[in-house]
Structure 1
Amino acid sequence: MERVLVHTCCAPCLTGVHYRLKEEGYEAVSLWYNPNIHPFTEWERRLGELLKYRGLTGIEVIVIDEYPLKKFLKGLIIADERGTEARCSYCIGMRLKRTAEEAKRRGFDYFTTTLLVSRHQPHELIRDLGRRIGRREGVKFLYIDFRKNWKDSVRISRSLHMYRQGYCGCILSEAERYRVEWEEGKDYLKEKGVDIWFG
C-alpha cells in the first residue's frame, strides 16, 4: 500500500481527506506543521482536536511543534504587501515545503494537504505549489480534488463534535473575516437607531 504524508491544517478537514484516501487504497499519515495559526491558543486547540481524532481512528500523527512566530509574521507582512495571493503563497508554500521534506526523509510515496478539501482555499495555487515543491524536493505531490469530500468532512467532524474554526489560521485572514461581521453589526445598529459612536 502506498503511503501519503498529509499536511493537516485541522482535524475537521482531515476527516474528509482521510476517508477519501482510504477509499482509494492509500495509507494516510497526518503531519501537523502550522506556524501560521494564530493566536497560539488557537494552534493548541486545533492540535488537540487532531490528537482526539487520532485517538478515535488510530491514524498516525507526526507533530512538528515549532512555532517561529516572529519569523513567520515577518515573512507574512512582506508577502502581504504584494497582495493576498502572495500572502497565501508564502503561508501555504512554507507548510508544503516542510511536508515534502519530511515525506522524503521518512520514505513516503507522496505528500498532499488537507487544504485541498476547502472551498475557501486557493485550490489552483495549492496544486501548483505542491507540484513545484515536489519536483524540487524529489517526492511526488498527490493531487486529488478533495473538495468533493467537503460535505463528508462536515458530516464526520460534526458527528464527532469537533471544534470547527471560522478562519484559516492566519491572523490577517482572521481580521478580514471577523471585520466583515463587525461592519455588518455596526450597520445593523445604525439601522435600528442605536446611537453608538464609532471613532
Structure 2
Amino acid sequence: MKLLLHACCGPCSLEPTRLLAHAGHDIAIAYMNSNIHPAEEYARRAETLRAWAASGGLPVVEGPYDPEAWERTVGAVAADAAKSREDRCRACYRLRLEETACYASAHGFDGISTTLTVSPYQYTDVIREELERAATAHKLAYVFEDFRPFYDEATRRSRELNMYRQNYCGCRISQAEAETERRERKAARKAAREAEQLKRSAEAAVAEEERLRKRAERKAYAEKQERKHRILKELREKNRDRSERPNA
C-alpha cells in the first residue's frame, strides 16, 4: 500500500516506519503539526525528522504551519471548562489527521497511518477513532497499530542516533503542563531529600545520645569499681597493720 504516515517527530517515527516497511508498505512521511508551540520548537522537530528521513531515503511532505487554525479549533476546546484533556487531544488529533488524509487523497496515496500511538501518554483508542474517521471521510484505507510496546526501543535508538528529543507533547498547553509537572517533581524530590536529611539528623542525634549514655554508664561503672578497689585496699592495709602489731 502507498501509505502516508503522519509523524509527530523524528524519534517517534523510528519504529513505526521500520514495522510498516517490513509489512510491505511504501511509506512517505507527513509532518503536519500546527499544534507545536512555539515556532522554534516546530522547526527543530521538523529539522530532526527531515535529517533522519533523508538518511533512510524516506520522503517527507510538510503541511502549512498554522497555529492560528489550531487556536481556533483545539484552543477553543481547551478554553471550555466543561471539556476534558481527552476532548482537547481528540480535537488536536482530528485537525492533524484530517490534514494528512486530505493531502493523501489529493496525491494518490492508498491509505494513512500515524506515529502518535508510540507515546504511552496519548489516548490510543481516540487516535484509532480519529484515524478511521479521517480515512473514511476521504475514501482511504487506514493502518492502525498500537506502537506503545516499541516506545522503549524507539527511545533507545533515538538516543543512540543523538536525535533531538522533546520533553513535552507539543502544544502550548502541554508545554505548560509539563513545566508544572517538572516543578512539582523537583519540589517533591527536594522535600524528600530534606525529609531524609531530617531523618538522618534525628537518627544521628539518637545515636549520639545513646553513645553519651553508654559513656556515662562506663564512667559511672569505672568510678564505682575504683571506689570498691580503694575500699578493699584500705581494708587489706588495716588487716595487715593489725597482723603486724605485737601481742599484748
Letter in 2 for 1:76: V
Structure-2 residue corresponding to 1:141: 142
**TM-score, normalising length: structure 1:** 0.89
> CA offsets, 1:28-63, max 9 Å, x none?
110111110001110010001011102211111111
Give the share of equivalent positions with the same residue, in percent. 31
Letter in 2 for 1:20: L
- Shift, 1:145, TM fit: 1.8
Report the counterpart of residue 113 of structure 2 in structure 1.
Answer: 112
* Cα distance in 2 for residues equivalent to 1:75 and 1:132: 17
2:167 aligned with 1:166 = yes
**RMSD of Structure 2 on Structure 1 (CA):** 1.7
Aligned mates of 1:189, 1:159 — CA distance in 2: 31
> In structure 1, how many angstroms separate the alpha carbons of the residues matched to 2:87 and 2:3?
27
What's 2:47 paired with? 48
The residue aligned with 2:240 is none
* 8 Å Cα contact 1:20-1:149 kept in structure 2: no
2:54 & 2:108 partners in 1: Cα distance?
24
Deviations 1:102-148 (A, max 9, x none): 11111111101110211111000000111112111111111122223
Look up the match of 1:131: 132
Decide whether the 8 Å contact of 1:10 with 1:50 is kept in 2.
Answer: yes
Query: How far off its partner does 1:188 sit?
Result: 4.9
- The answer to whether 1:38 aligns with 2:37 is yes
Stretch deviating more after TM superposition (43-52 or 135-144): 135-144
CA–CA distance in structure 1, aligned partners of residues 142 and 174 of structure 2 = 26
Larger relative contact order (Cα-Cα within 8 Å, sequence gap ≥ 6): 1
How many aligned residue pairs are there?
Answer: 191
TM superposition shift of 1:182: 1.1
Aligned to 1:103: 104
Could you list the runs of 5+ residues in structure 1 that have no partner in the other structure?
A: 194-199
**Alignment partners' CA distance in 1, 2:186 and 2:113:** 39
Q: Which has the larger radius of gyration?
A: 2
Distance in 2 of aligned mates of 1:30 and 1:3: 11
Asked if 1:150 corresponds to 2:151, the answer is yes
Q: Is the 8 A contact 1:15 1:153 kept in 2?
A: yes
- In structure 2, distance between residues paired with 1:100 and 1:176: 29
Alpha-carbon spacing, 1:149–1:190, altered in 2? closer, same or farther (3 Å): closer
Q: Which runs of 5+ in 2 are unaligned?
A: 196-248
Equivalents in 1 of 2:132, 2:124: separation in Å? 12
- The one-character-per-residue Cα deviations of 1:149-172 (angstroms, maximum 9, x if unpaired) are 223322221221101111110110
Query: Matched residues in 2 for 1:182 and 1:151: separation?
Result: 25
Structure showing the higher helix proportion among its residues = 2
CA distance in 1, matches of 2:188, 2:159: 32
- CA distance in 1 between counterparts of 2:120 and 2:62 reads 25
TM-score between the two structures when normalised by the length of structure 2: 0.72
Moved more, 148-157 or 9-18: 148-157
Task: Using the TM superposition, name which of 142-151 and 179-188 deviates more.
Answer: 179-188
**Structure 1: distance between partners of 2:9 and 2:180:** 23
